[in-house]
Amino acid sequence: MNVLTLVHGRRAHLLNLIRGLERSTVLPDALVIVQMNESPSRWESAYFPIIHCSIDSGDDQLPLAAARNAAVDHATSDDLVFLDVDCIPAPDLVARYRDKLALSTDTLYQGEVLYLPEASEDGTTTLDSLMQSAAPHPLHIDRRTGEAVPHTLFWSLNFACRRQTFDHIGRFDIRYCGYGGEDTDFSFRAAANGVPIEFVEARAFHQFHASCEPPLNHLASIVENARLFRARWGTWPMEGWLTQFADAGYIEMNDTTLTLCRLPTAVEIAAAYVKA
């Protein structure tokens, strides 16, 4: 089994992810790290090999879809765990996914994500202390392993599948550039190809970082990706964010069209940053 992660900056978070994997009850066969739009670096572990690759979009938009595909291309296993760089895996995360993937079903397995407050984690943090400080995401409350997850609620922070399932779905669409929409498109194509999503109590702890709410710093790519999604699926993704953008006068939208009226100023972006 390979764990796959993407990184741009976030070096401390990546090191915590690696340390978390090193505490796993079942170690991965390898960790694949894809660096996006940055100079290549190398990380080492005494517990498993680390495979390095890099990808550059040629602009300031992170190539998230293309980078996930590249991670799969560099993987040495057909069992794949996609873990966001901000996530610290629980010691049994790899084992829980291993047990599910051993069933060889054509399924996406969605793990659990709990959110940590600021400065609550470092390389020596214990599982008990993480559990005491972490807050569950509302979508995961009362979910149990084996429960079906609606495709509209899929997210790519923490999931697993077999390589044949990934290829059956059609991989991530590299036409999505920058932030937003590529994982929802992936899950919609999973639904169209008859691939279900099943919840697994494979727990990861999301490390703190400041973020924009709504993500004004990604407005341009969200608009472009929303148009691409609407052209394919006949519905708008990320409706909550789009509604907030429209209410604030950044965009105009109706059932079929989406117009970018203006970009936010640096002051507006700074004001939108919250702790998350």
202 CB neighbour count, 10 Å cutoff: 27
With 60 as the cut, is the pLDDT of residue 190 above it?
Answer: yes
**30, β-bridge pairs:** 2
CA pair distance 18, 77, nearest whole angstrom:
18
CA pair distance 229, 235, nearest whole angstrom:
7
Judge if 234 and 139 occupy the same domain.
Answer: no
Q: Region 39-56: what's the mean pLDDT?
A: 96
pTM beyond 0.85: yes
Judge if 151 and 222 occupy the same domain.
Answer: no
CA pair distance 276, 256, nearest whole angstrom:
32
Confidence (pLDDT) at 208: 81
CA pair distance 29, 79, nearest whole angstrom:
10
Q: Quick one: which of 215, 214, 241 has its CA closest to 226? A: 241
Domain that holds residue 269: 211-275
Judge if 115 and 216 occupy the same domain.
Answer: no
With 80 as the cut, is the pLDDT of residue 238 above it?
Answer: yes
Q: Region 152-174: what's the mean pLDDT?
A: 96
Share of the chain above pLDDT 70, in %: 95
Give me the amino acid identity at 231: A
Judge if 123 and 225 occupy the same domain.
Answer: no
Judge if 147 and 189 occupy the same domain.
Answer: yes
Domain endpoint, select from 159, 185, 208: 208
Q: Quick one: which of 187, 152, 203 has its CA closest to 20? A: 203
CA pair distance 248, 223, nearest whole angstrom:
14
Angle (CA) 113-80-91 rounded to 5° is 45
Confidence (pLDDT) at 276: 46
Judge if 185 and 230 occupy the same domain.
Answer: no
Angle 219-233/239-247 helices, nearest 10 degrees? 130
Give me the amino acid identity at 148: A
Domain endpoint, select from 173, 193, 208: 208
Judge if 198 and 216 occupy the same domain.
Answer: no
Confidence (pLDDT) at 178: 87
CA pair distance 221, 176, nearest whole angstrom:
8
Mean pLDDT of the chain: 91
With 90 as the cut, is the pLDDT of residue 49 above it?
Answer: yes
Confidence (pLDDT) at 75: 98
Which of these ranges, 13-22, 121-130, 232-241, 257-266, has the smallest mean pLDDT? 121-130
| Better pLDDT: 217 or 169 | 169
- pLDDT (tens digit per residue) in 78-105: 999 999 999 999 999 999 999 999 998 8
Confidence (pLDDT) at 146: 87
Judge if 230 and 130 occupy the same domain.
Answer: no
Judge if 122 and 250 occupy the same domain.
Answer: no
Judge if 230 and 140 occupy the same domain.
Answer: no
What's the pLDDT band for 16 if we cut at 50, 70, 90?
very high
Confidence (pLDDT) at 142: 74
Output b/e per residue, 45-79; b: 16+ Cβ within 10 A: eeebebbeebbebeeebbbbbbbbbbbbebbebbb
With 80 as the cut, is the pLDDT of residue 129 above it?
Answer: no
With 60 as the cut, is the pLDDT of residue 122 above it?
Answer: no
Confidence (pLDDT) at 96: 97
Domain count, the chain: 2
Which of these ranges, 102-106, 149-153, 209-213, has the smallest mean pLDDT? 209-213
What's the pLDDT band for 224 if we cut at 50, 70, 90?
very high
Q: Quick one: which of 263, 213, 255, 215 has its CA closest to 236? A: 255
Judge if 106 and 164 occupy the same domain.
Answer: yes
With 70 as the cut, is the pLDDT of residue 70 above it?
Answer: yes
Domain endpoint, select from 184, 208, 232: 208
Sign of the CA dihedral with 149 first, then 150, 155, and 159 last: positive
Confidence (pLDDT) at 136: 79
Judge if 218 and 196 occupy the same domain.
Answer: no
Confidence (pLDDT) at 275: 53
Which CATH number fits the domain that encloses residue 14?
3.90.550.10
